[in-house]
Amino acid sequence: MFYREDQRLETAMGRMLQIGVTVAALVVLVGGALYLSQFTGPIPDYQRFHGAPAAYESVHGVLLGVGRFDSGSLIALGILLLIVTPTCRVISGVVGFSILRDRFYAAVSVIVLIILVLSFCTRR
Amino acid sequence: MSVLSFTLGVFGTSILAAFLGALTGLGGGVVIVPVLCILFKMNIHYAIGASLVSVIATSSGAAASYVREGYSNIRIGMFLEVATTLGALLGAYLTAKVSGNWIGVIFGVVLLYSAWASLRKPSTGTKSPRPDSLAMRLNLRGSYPVEGSKEEYVAQHVPAGFGIMFVAGTLSGLLGIGSGAVKVLAMDQVMKLPFKVSTTTSNFMIGVTAAASAGVYLGHGYILPGLSMPVMLGVLAGALVGSRILVNADVKALRLVFSIVIVALGVEMISNGLTGRL
């Protein structure tokens, strides 16, 4: 009984990951096609480190760029969706363990979620 | 070279790297970073950023099929993710502080270890003499299918496993890899979990661990859209094909050849790092 409910939670998590990665890959694919059709000049300098354009470092900047049909922003949006996917799995852990009345593991999931949120607050 | 041919070159290389990574169980990241640095003369921080994105993609993409088999353990995974995500934050922080040359040297050492680990036989899941009391209290146990019936297991040496997971997370954040080899080491060798449970639960954890580093990488500008795009799509495609073939292929000879390639890449990364060329 106990394990069967775990199994259902796990299946839901697995499906969520699969949907997330598919959507993210499609967005990156569309952005990539747009990128290759727009960019015809020489290859950017990837040898020395300059850092990504500041517009790609915030969700706000990325969304503004997507509104302008900027190909880089569209790829960045796909990457953001990809990063959010495992985060959703942790959120589903918080919800799922709460439903299973497993307070300890609901708390563990909350801790992991807090660490993930903290990681997005770091800046250069 | 135009942007198109460069992108296609990176895309094709990523497919091949992930294909080989999937067949040998090492994952794509550990191959793609040195290849981008050595073959494409890319800045190591950009290579790490692109690799990390692809690591999240393959981990999430493979999860659904693993779940169906019923081997992964969400409680053990979630508990150990506390260690790996904290480690990932430390690793990603260190990446910004440590020079590219030192990252290259550390990367080379990890490559050499991975080559050795992939050739080692998996432990046969030795039965533990007595259940670990801490593991029982934390409910770090489960059951998995063995020839139609359910076999029960309980984790051993929880603090040591937790500690190694922290190291695995640090390496993941520092080098932009999944560090599945170290995660499996912690669960299979130290916590004495069944091998199948270790590998599938490790795959689950890799995505969450990498997401923690990715937050830091984004803030530091390591993730370039134009570069991450062919790497992510290529690795995803290569890993999907590789894992399909893995099911019904004898990969022993391939594994040996691939290990030699990994050793060569490792030596090259170490020598490039020591001579200051990264």
Q: How far is CA B69 from the centre of its chain?
A: 20
Q: Which alpha helices (H) appear in B70-189, and where do they start and end? A: 74-97, 100-119, 133-137, 158-175, 180-184
Does the structure show a pLDDT above 80 at A40? Answer: no
Buried b (16+ CB within 10 A) or exposed e, B69-79: ebbbbbbbbbb
Q: What is the CA radius of gyration of chain A?
A: 19
Check pLDDT > 60 for residue A2.
Answer: no
Question: CB atoms < 10 A from the CB of B133, how many?
Answer: 10
CB-based contact, A35 to chain B, within 8 Å: yes
Of B6, B72, B221, nearest to A52 by CB-CB distance is B221
Write down the pLDDT at residue B121: 63
Q: What is the mean pLDDT of chain B?
A: 87
Q: Can you give the pLDDT at residue B85?
A: 97
Residue B122 has a pLDDT of 59
What H or E segment, with its residue span, contains residue B233? helix B225-247
Interface confidence, given as ipTM, is 0.90
Interface with B, mutate which of A21, A59, A97, A114 (most B CBs under 10 A): A21
Model confidence at A89: pLDDT above 50: yes
Sequence ranges of the domains in chain A = 2-85
Binning pLDDT at 50, 70 and 90, where does residue A1 land? very low
Q: Which residues contact B107 (CB under 8 A, 6 or more apart)?
A: B33, B34, B44, B175, B266, B269, B273
DSSP secondary structure string, B10-62?
HHHHHHHHHHHHHHHTS-SHHHHHHHHHHTS---HHHHHHHHHHHHHHHHHHH
- CA dist., res. B110 & res. B167, Å (int): 12
Tell me the chain A residues in contact with residue B166 when contact means C-beta distances shorter than 8 Å. none
> Is the distance from CB of A40 to CB of A71 less than 8 angstroms?
no
Mutate to test the interface with B, among A116, A117, A124 (most CBs of B within 10 A): A116
Burial class of residue B65 in the structure, from the number of CB atoms within 10 Å of its CB (0-12 exposed, 13-18 middle, 19+ buried): middle
For chain B, which ranges sit under pLDDT 70?
A: 64, 68, 121-131, 246-251
Would the CB atoms of A79 and B143 count as touching at under 8 Å? Answer: no
CB B125 within 8 A of CB B192: yes
C-beta atoms of B1 and A21 within 8 A: no
User: Cβ contact (<8 Å) for B79 and A36?
Assistant: no
Backbone angles phi, psi at B153, to 5 degrees: -145, 155
Burial B146-165 (b: 16+ CB within 10 A, else e): eeeeeeebbbbbbeebbebb
Of A34-38, A70-74, B130-134, B148-152, the least confident: B130-134
CB nearest B78 (choices: A7, A46, A93): A93
Q: Which residue has the tokens 């760029």?
A: A65
Interface size between A and B, measured as CB pairs under 8 A = 208
Reported as half-sphere exposure (CB side, CA atoms, 13 A), residue A80 has a value of: 18
Chain B residues lying within 8 Å of A120, measured CB to CB: 215, 218-219
Q: Is A100 in the B-facing interface, judged by CB distances under 8 Å?
A: no
Question: Which residues are within 8 A (CB) of B24 and not within 5 positions of it... i.e. 6 or more apart?
Answer: B118, B251, B254, B255, B258, B259
Determine the Cα angle at B9 with ends B265 and B4, to 5°: 150
Contact call for A13 and B218, based on CB within 8 A: no
Count of C-beta atoms within a 10 Å radius of residue B101? 17
Q: pLDDT value at position B128?
A: 56
Choice between B108 and A39, residue whose per-residue pLDDT is larger? B108
Cβ–Cβ gap A112/B216 under 8 Å: no
Q: Which residues of B touch A47 (CB under 8 A)?
A: 41-43
Name which of A25, A41, A79 is nearest B225 (Cβ-Cβ): A79
d(CA A80, CA B115): 32
Instruction: Flag if B215 and A122 touch (Cβ within 8 Å).
Output: yes
The pLDDT, as a whole number, for residue B79 is 96
> At CA B160, angle to CA B159 and CA B162, rounded to 5?
65
For residue B78, what is the nearest residue in chain A, using CA coordinates? Answer: A109
Closest CA to B78 of A22, A84, A4, A10: A10
